[in-house]
Each structure stands twice: as C-alpha cells, then as structure tokens.
Amino acid sequence: MTKVLVLYYSSYGHIEQMADAVAEGARAGGAEVDIRRVAETAPQAVVEAAHFKTDTKHAEIEGPDALAKYDAIIVGAPTRYGRMPSQMAAFWDTTGGLWFQGKLIGKVGGAFTSTASQHGGQETTLFSIITNLLHHGMTIVGLDYGFAGQNGLDEVKGGTPYGASTLADGDGSRQPSAVELDGARYQGKRIAETAAKLAG
C-alpha cells in the first residue's frame, strides 16, 4: 500500500482542517496516511499574544529522516508575507542530509495553503513550498482543473492549479468552505493515485 505523509503547520486551525481533508482524499485514493505537524518555533510570548491554536490531535514529525519512508509528501502551511512561514521553512532547512543522499528523489509531492485575503500570496506561498520539493527531486501534483469547484465566481473561494487553498479573513473568522475542503480531498486523492502508479 502506498504511504502518504500530510505534513503541516497551522497557527489558527485552518491548515489543520485542510490537512484532515487532504488525508481523507489520499485514503480514498488507496493510501495509508499519516498526518504530522512541524514544531512551533515562535516564542511562547508571541504564541500567547497572537492566540495561536496550540491544541491539536496530530503528533509532531519525528524529524527529517521520517520523510524517507513515504511515497508521497503533501505539505500545508499558511502564508507569511507571500511565502511559507518560518516554522515550516525551519523544518525543511534540516533536510540537507536527505537531499545529499537523494532520499526523496522520485517521490510525489504537493502543497496547500491559506491566506487572510484573496490576494494574500497563495500562489507564491505554494511555490515557496514546491520549490523545496523540486530541489529534492520530487514529482509535483497540484489541484488540476479536473476539480471543477475552483472555477466560477459564485462565491469567494480558494483553489489554484498549484495546490488547494482556503481563505481565513483578517481575523481568522472564516473557516474552510465545503468547496475548499473538497479541493483538498481531490488533490490528496490525485497525489495518492499518482504515487501508486509511480511505485508500481
């Protein structure tokens, strides 16, 4: 059975919800799925002042070497000034040994994100994640237009061909919509199916 890792960082729970949906889709694609989060690196005073969500049902990733055991790795993180946040970047900065050994070459990768606003840097954040995966030799699967939900202007919604996404609003009050969660499930399923084909 194909093994998929959904690896995420979430400050307020939006990406955590998307991670669950991505994992649900990957399981529907026939994969065994683990969900892990990266460590919080912000000072405790910042975490408390910004009211970060600190309760989670997902364990922290054991370390970079854990990545090698998966056939696919799907990375989710919110945007910080149009790029992945330092918490996720700090984790990928520890993967040099894996890169040197080529341990992730040929595996499948994907990304998903959230922003406060419609033009808050979703695509640049996705590319900041995808760039790391490409440097590791991974094959990228985005949110293709087989998912018709990302089309249309009937409602405010995330979703890009580079990866699933959601919008949180400036105060974090907006939660992922049904169509955004469906997009995350679709991408997770496509990644699992692609990984199974490559592994076969």
Annotated binding-site residues for NAD(+) read 12
Helices and strands counted in the chain (H then E): 6, 6
How far is residue 74's CA from residue 79's CA, in Å, rounded to a whole number? 16
Residue ranges of the annotated binding site are 10-15, 79-81, 99, 135
Residue ranges of the annotated binding site for FMN are 10-15, 79-81, 135
Contact 60, 30 (CB under 8 A): no
Cα separations in angstroms, 39 against 3, 46, 60, 117, 156: 22, 15, 6, 25, 31
Residue ranges of the annotated binding site for substrate are 99
Other beta carbons less than 10 A from residue 142's beta carbon: 19
Structure tokens at 123: 């695509």
Looking at residue 48, its amino acid is E
